[in-house]
Amino acid sequence: MKIGVLALQGAFRAHADKLSELGADVVEVRRPSHLDAVDALVMPGGESTTMSMLLESSELFDPLAVRIDDGMAVFGTCAGLILLSTEIEDGRPDQRSFGRFDIAVQRNGYGRQIESFETELETTVTDDPVHAVFIRAPRIVRLGTDVEVLAESRGDAVLVRSGNALGASFHPELATDARIHRLFLDSVAS
């Protein structure tokens, strides 16, 4: 199995390194032709409006939307989660998303860069807490009925799953713990 990492902007190298450490065959996705070589995709954090524009200018948005609609497994973190949501409450009017998660998000929902934080999260999928790094993180403000909450912070869902899609408001690639990436790889393999 080949795991793609959207490599247009954001912390894509940290994701690629984490996945490689776990034994995944990683492909950096920058062009539509790169999508043909992957079985699943990680959409990293970064700046969601910039990523949305880069997806358009690279001509990746539409072919990626087709792959996601066809059921490709996907994992979005921070800005990636925003791009996978059905509703972006405070996005730009021209900002597109893939609608993979039936959720509404608020960009930078936990505050500005200076209000970034780290915490330990209890999850429904790990025995011990997971270290989570929140950097200008999105807040999930509405959950659809098909969205499973795997972890919460400050009363908000921050790790969610819907079918073969996984989403995190935080940056698991910036922690030493690889269990969230392992969870995604295990879902792709099954």
**DSSP helix/strand/coil, 7:** coil
Catalytic residue among 47, 56, 59, 78: 78
118 is catalytic: no
15 is catalytic: no
Catalytic residue among 21, 87, 118, 173: 173
Q: Could you give phi then psi for residue 77, rounded to 5 degrees?
A: -120, 135
Catalytic residue among 15, 34, 171, 181: 171
78 is catalytic: yes
Sign of CA dihedral 160, 162, 167, 173: positive
Query: Pick from 4, 61, 67, 44: which is nearest to 167 by CA?
Result: 44
Question: In the structure encoding, which two tokens stand for residue 135, read together?
Answer: 């950097």
Q: 12-49 burial, b if ≥16 CB within 10 A, otherwise e?
A: bebbbebbeebebebbebbebebbeebebbbbbbbbbb
Residues annotated catalytic, as ranges:
78, 171, 173
